[in-house]
């Protein structure tokens, strides 16, 4: 079974591409972002370590993750981001590997799975996958998407983009690039899967 790492900067449309892989090609997708939030809220060990870092509870009274608090902490200082990542990323990586192995065991006909992660490379997830696919889009389009989606100012979006590695850096480590600027996405996905099937992993 091929493990595909799908990445891309904020606003690139990575999650939409992941949904196309799943809906049109039947490839199961592991959403690392939602899993990270679940682990931070549910894992006593992870939650306790984060609360030591922040000096206050990271969950609301109803048990849900205080996403605004964490975002302010992570995007406020590079060291703070690294501290949180050192706690969360290993837990997510371990959870993904377990998920992939269970999928392979219970659904042997499944030829591929995807882990979707905006920080696949920064988080050190590349050694957990067989191939890396990155999604790119023009900067102005990315900014507009995130402003509309998250209700942020342009300055706030640019600050978040600056916290991530550049598209050029992702491209250096990627095996394939998807351009999400209005071009036909399904054709690009089909081409990538065809290459995996014929040249690399007999997908």
CATH of the domain at 23: 3.40.50.300
**Span 33-45, average pLDDT:** 90
Is 200 within the bounds of a domain? no
**Contact present, 132 and 7 (Cβ < 8 Å):** yes
Residue 180 has pLDDT above 80, yes or no: yes
Task: Dump pLDDT digits (tens) for 106-124.
Answer: 888 888 999 999 889 988 8
Residues in Cβ contact with 88 at an 8 Å cutoff, skipping those fewer than 6 apart: 36, 39, 40, 46, 50
pLDDT for 75 beyond 90: no
**12 lies in a domain?**
yes
Question: For residue 173, what are the domain limits?
Answer: 2-194
Task: Give residue 200's pLDDT.
Answer: 54
Mean pLDDT is highest, among 11-20, 154-163, 192-201, for 11-20
In a domain, 172, yes or no: yes
Q: How many structural domains does the chain have?
A: 1
The total of other beta-carbon atoms located within 10 Å of residue 87's CB is 19
SS3 32: helix
- In 26-95, beta strands by DSSP E: 29-31
Contacts 24+ apart (CB under 8 A), 162-168: 163/74, 163/75, 163/78, 163/81, 164/9, 164/10, 164/118, 164/119, 164/122, 165/121, 165/122, 166/9, 167/9, 167/134, 167/136
Residue 76 lies in a domain: yes
**Position 133 in a domain:** yes
Report the helix count and the strand count for the chain, using DSSP H and E.
9, 5
pTM to 2 decimal places: 0.86
178 found inside a domain: yes
Q: Is 199 inside a domain boundary? A: no
Q: Does residue 62 belong to any structural domain of this protein?
A: yes
């Amino acid at each position: 079974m091929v493990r595909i790492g799908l990445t891309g900067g904020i606003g690139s449309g990575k999650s939409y591409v992941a949904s196309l892989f799943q809906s049109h090609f039947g490839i199961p997708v592991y959403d690392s972002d939602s899993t990270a939030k679940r682990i931070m809220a549910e894992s006593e060990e992870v939650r306790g370590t984060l609360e030591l870092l922040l000096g206050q509870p990271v969950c609301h009274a109803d048990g849900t993750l205080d996403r605004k608090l964490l975002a302010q902490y992570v995007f406020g200082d590079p060291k703070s981001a690294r501290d949180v990542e050192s706690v969360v990323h290993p837990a997510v990586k371990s959870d993904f590997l377990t998920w992939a192995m269970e999928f392979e065991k219970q659904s042997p006909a499944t030829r591929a799975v995807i882990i979707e992660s905006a920080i696949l490379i920064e988080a050190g997830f590349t050694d957990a996958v067989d191939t890396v696919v990155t999604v790119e889009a023009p900067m102005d389009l990315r900014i507009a998407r995130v402003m509309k989606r998250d209700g942020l100012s342009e300055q706030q979006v640019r600050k978040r983009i600056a916290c991530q590695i550049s598209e050029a850096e992702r491209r250096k480590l990627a095996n394939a690039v998807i351009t999400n600027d209005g071009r036909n996405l399904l054709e690009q996905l089909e081409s990538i899967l065809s290459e995996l099937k014929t040249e690399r992993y007999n997908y």
